[in-house]
Amino acid sequence: MDMSAHAIKQHLIDPEICIRCNTCEAICPVAAITHDARNYVVDAEKCNLCMDCIAPCPTGSIDNWRTMPRIKAYSLLDQLGWDELPPELTPEQLAAEGVAADALPVELPAAPALPAAASGETSFNSAQYGATLPPWSAAHPYTNLYGPKAAGKSISATVAGNVRVTAVGHEYDTHHLVLDFGAMPFPVLEGQSIGIIPPGVDANGKPHFARQYSIASPRNGERPGYNNLSLTIKRVLQDHQGQPERGVASNYMCDLQVGDKVQVIGPFGTSFLMPNHPRSNIVMICTGTGSAPMRAMTEWRRRLRQSGKFEGGKLMLFFGARTKEELPYFGPLQSLPKDFIDINFAFSRTPGQPKRHVQDVMRERAADLGLLLNEPNSYFYVCGLKSMEEGVVLALHDVAQQSGLSWDTVGTALRQEGRLHLETY
């Protein structure tokens, strides 16, 4: 009798570690991952163990498995109600359900080969081109030093600064927040993120889960030589469908005062990291608070340039917002030298002007982008709302073709060589 027919290796997400960043749901090729207001969960009926979601997860919460009798696999309803993972079933419990100890293979299936990209395809899966490996010259990241299952749990940081970085009097209020960690070690790199745990409980009386924020400062701190970092946080007043919603963490963070204490977990992120080798080019494509990691990379390059320690490649930025008043850091960006960074703005709601998105401006700069796509020392970073991702990668696809390059070759190289990084939400 084939005992494996009665058992599955069920894929589960640990709710104690998950920071609800949406990376797994966005990348799952079979739509097996979904979520509610609290938990991300995996549908056992849909999951094919392709493993595409494992490497991109910043916390490792996605890499959890349970040997289960097939007919007793945990349902979505079960998983949505969890605050922690259930324990493994013992061999005796499995045997009582008719599952032998050696019923399942020891090894899980390997990830499938990268799908071929063809310009004639009717559907375009942008996620398949996103790299899960960092640039070869990236510095070593530290991750998960503090968190629900780390020895020290969360760490307390002190608010050292809180400044609004969008025009006053407009609906979208974005803040630049500086957190100081004192004598507690919290090493970070450009492109990494942290989790903030808001105080209090939700409508069901459960503690709020952590919210993820990208770090907006370089590795040596917002204030160089001090153990601090900065974040770019927009006060959330509506959900992705435009319905009124007051974001718990974003409003808490925007209202913090200097001297307040904040509970932090992390850091997270092992692939969305900048290259460190000389003459490497960086193309940054972002909207809104997706500018945070781009600010970190730009500032690190600026400091290296000032010190004379970096033989720099090109920096190119495509930055989108509804209007210039809603664009974070608009003023400081104007003061950066033109020979240091090539800045391109895209505004979609400027009165009397046609809508322009970042992908439209990318196509306008196709000649320059094509040269960079053909350069193996060029790295591309995309950060912002999920809705921008496909348009941006399609624009790169079109730029490559317009430049006489094979997207099959270029797209595959960008992923395999850690040169195209997608962080959308």
Label residue 151 by pLDDT band (50, 70, 90).
low
User: Is the pLDDT higher at 278 or at 274?
Assistant: 274
What the chain holds in terms of domains, given with CATH numbers, is 3-96 (3.30.70.20), 126-138+271-424 (3.40.50.80), 155-268 (2.40.30.10)
With 70 as the cut, is the pLDDT of residue 325 above it?
yes
Q: Which long-range contacts (CB under 8 A, 24 or more apart) does 300-307 make?
A: 300/190, 300/218, 300/219, 300/220, 300/274, 301/340, 302/336, 302/340, 303/218, 303/220, 303/224, 305/340
Tokens 């056992």 appear where? Answer: 44
- Residues 43 and 217: their CA atoms lie apart, in Å, by 38
Q: Which residues pair with 422 in a beta bridge?
A: 382
Give residue-wise pLDDT tens across range 219-272: 999 999 899 999 999 987 765 556 666 788 999 999 999 999 999 999 999 999
Here the tokens at position 146 are 């503090």
Closest by alpha carbon to 215, among 159, 284, 282, 266? 266
Give residue-wise pLDDT tens across range 370-404: 999 999 999 999 999 888 999 999 999 999 999 99
Percent of the chain with pLDDT over 70: 90
The dihedrals phi and psi of 343, each to the nearest 5 degrees, come to: -100, 135
CA atoms in the 13 A half-sphere facing the CB of 93: 9
- Residue 120's pLDDT is what? 41
Closest by alpha carbon to 288, among 222, 216, 221? 216
Least confident residue range of 70-74, 306-310, 348-352, 397-401: 306-310
Distances (CA, A) of 195 to 152, 228, 309: 15, 15, 32
What is the CA 326 to chain-centroid distance, rounded? 22
With 70 as the cut, is the pLDDT of residue 175 above it?
yes
Give residue-wise pLDDT tens across range 203-213: 888 888 889 99
CA dihedral 219, 225, 226, 230 (to 10 degrees): -40
3-state secondary structure the chain: CCHHHHEEEEEECCCCCCCCCCHHHHHCCCCCEEECCCCEEECCCCCCCCCCCCCCCCCCCCCEEEEEEHHHCCCHHHHHCCCCCCCCCCHHHHHHCCCCCCCCCCCCCCCCCCCCCCCCCCCCCHHHHCCCCCCCCCCCCCCCCECCCCCCCCEEEEEEEEEECCCCCCCCCEEEEEEECCCCCCCCCCCCEEEEECCCECCCCCECCCEEEEECCCCCCCCCCCCEEEEEEECCCECCCCCECCCHHHHHHHCCCCCCEEEEEEEECCCCCCCCCCCCEEEEEEEHHHHHHHHHHHHHHHHHHHHCCCCCCCEEEEEEECCHHHCCCHHHHHCCCCCCCEEEEEECCCCCCCCCCHHHHHHHCHHHHHHHHCCCCEEEEEEECHHHHHHHHHHHHHHHHHCCCCHHHHHHHHHHCCCEEEEEC
- Mean pLDDT value across residues 186-192: 97
User: Is the pLDDT higher at 172 or at 333?
Assistant: 333
With 80 as the cut, is the pLDDT of residue 126 above it?
yes
| CA dihedral over 213, 263, 249, 235, signed as positive or negative | negative
- Residue 110's pLDDT is what? 43
Q: What is the pTM of this model?
A: 0.86
- Mean pLDDT value across residues 69-74: 90
Distances (CA, A) of 403 to 145, 316, 373, 398, 419: 44, 18, 9, 9, 18
Contact 288, 328 (CB under 8 A): yes
State the chain's maximal CA–CA distance in angstroms.
Answer: 73
With 50 as the cut, is the pLDDT of residue 301 above it?
yes
- Residue 37's pLDDT is what? 82
Strands 174-180 and 228-234: antiparallel
Give residue-wise pLDDT tens across range 4-21: 457 888 999 998 888 888
- Residue 266's pLDDT is what? 94
